[in-house]
Chains A and B, each alone.
Chain A
């Protein structure tokens, strides 16, 4: 199971890469407090004002193309940047192996009571 989203940013891939990897830039759009070492094996810390806190490890970081973070609770976020006529296309994919099971069971349960 996965969530896929896309946006086109009116900047170059190099600038888009900064916006998605530099902590002070991430604090403008992703979370309220961010620490991130955007290198393979680097650690990430994200805090939101609603009290949510998440930790991550950088699995892949290829500037300015691909960033893969693994959340400590097992989800994976993948950001892919590619040149686009209007700037840079940012493709986001968030997956978690356990969602599939929960939904599969849910579908099975829904079918069973139908």
Chain B
């Protein structure tokens, strides 16, 4: 089921990181210095959160001269919703198997 999806959920478990993803989505792109200006957080802390978000595939950082510019990766969030569909499909399969299992067992029961 993917480490990638786990990484996405872990990354979004933190409110500061959720804020960073939301803010990057609104702005289109930004830098750790700009983002730190909007949060009660140091640039170093923002950089650390962005690195974790980048590892989860939620943002991408690009070196532009002396600064790193971050952009949101919207497809990664789509992975999470696709995973939801997959878990739904898993339950469809499991319950169908449960229905077969119970029915077969019952038909074999004596009497």
Show the binding face of A for B, using Cβ within 8 Å.
1, 3, 5-7, 9-11, 15-16, 19-20, 25, 28-30, 52, 73-74, 90, 92, 94, 96, 98-99, 101-103, 105-106, 108-110, 112-113
Contacts and interface: CB of A to CB of B under 8 A. Distances in A.
Interface of B: 1, 6, 8-9, 12-13, 18, 21-22, 25-26, 72, 74, 77-78, 80-81, 84, 87-88, 91-92, 94-103, 106
A20 B25 CA distance: 43
A80 B88 CA distance: 17
B101 A94 contact: no
Nearest to B58: A105
A3 B91 contact: yes
B72 A103 contact: no
B106 A11 contact: yes
Contact of B25 (A1, A3, A112): A112
